[in-house]
């Protein structure tokens, strides 16, 4: 591969994977999301900005994070961003974080009761996805929602 750096090759592969994910979800195929291992992420909506904390293991290398609402099998991204240096366990990100290398799309989410939310990230170790249903009572601004539906005061625990 003359003239290509390892980072450029990795970005190209990551972009191709992202295009495949977008095509699969746009055509109603949800197999990529369904087959992905669950992600241990917690979410919090604060002042109209969605905060996401990685409560699992650190992701190394370049990371693609997409956040969106699901309706049936459709996945409508409201945020897509890229990180160069991974996503550490315990680290909280938002669309306004200054760590993003590139942001392809950023809108304020509208997360009303019963809305379904999916957050997925792709890194060197593969893809992960976390799914949430916003409870009927909503989520208090000072609380974190977890994929299993629990609401806690701390991002990664009780």
pLDDT in tens, 82-126: 988 888 999 999 888 888 898 888 887 777 888 888 888 888 767
* pLDDT (mean) for 55-66: 85
Question: Is the residue at 92 inside a domain?
Answer: yes
Q: What is the mean pLDDT of the chain?
A: 75
Question: Is the residue at 58 inside a domain?
Answer: yes
Q: How many structural domains comprise the chain?
A: 1
3-state secondary structure the chain: CCCCCHHHHHHHHHHHHHHHHHHHHHCCCCHHHHHCCECCEEEEEECCEEEEEECCCCECCCEEEEEEEEECCEEEEEEEEEECCCECCCCEEECCCCCCCEEEEECCCCCCCCCEEEEEEEECCEEEEEEEECCCCCCCCCCEECCCCCEECECCEC
Question: Is the residue at 158 inside a domain?
Answer: no
**Residue 28: its pLDDT value, please?**
36
Question: Is the residue at 1 inside a domain?
Answer: no
Domain of residue 85, residue span: 6-152
* 151: pLDDT strictly greater than 90: yes
Question: Is the residue at 12 inside a domain?
Answer: yes
Question: Is the residue at 157 inside a domain?
Answer: no
């Amino acid at each position: 591969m003359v003239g290509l750096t390892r980072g450029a090759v990795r970005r190209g592969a990551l972009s191709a994977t992202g295009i495949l994910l977008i095509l699969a979800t746009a055509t109603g195929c949800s197999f990529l999301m369904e087959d992905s291992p669950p992600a241990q992420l917690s979410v919090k909506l604060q002042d109209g900005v969605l905060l996401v904390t990685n409560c699992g293991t650190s992701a190394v290398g370049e990371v693609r994070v997409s956040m969106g609402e699901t309706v049936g099998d459709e996945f409508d991204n409201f945020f897509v961003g890229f990180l160069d240096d991974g996503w550490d366990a315990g680290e909280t990100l938002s669309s306004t974080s200054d760590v993003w290398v590139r942001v392809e799309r950023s809108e304020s989410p509208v997360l009303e009761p019963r809305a379904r939310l999916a957050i997925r990230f792709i890194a060197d170790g593969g893809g992960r996805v976390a799914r949430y249903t916003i409870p009927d009572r909503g989520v208090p601004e000072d609380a974190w929602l977890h994929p299993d539906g629990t609401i806690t005061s701390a991002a990664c625990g009780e």
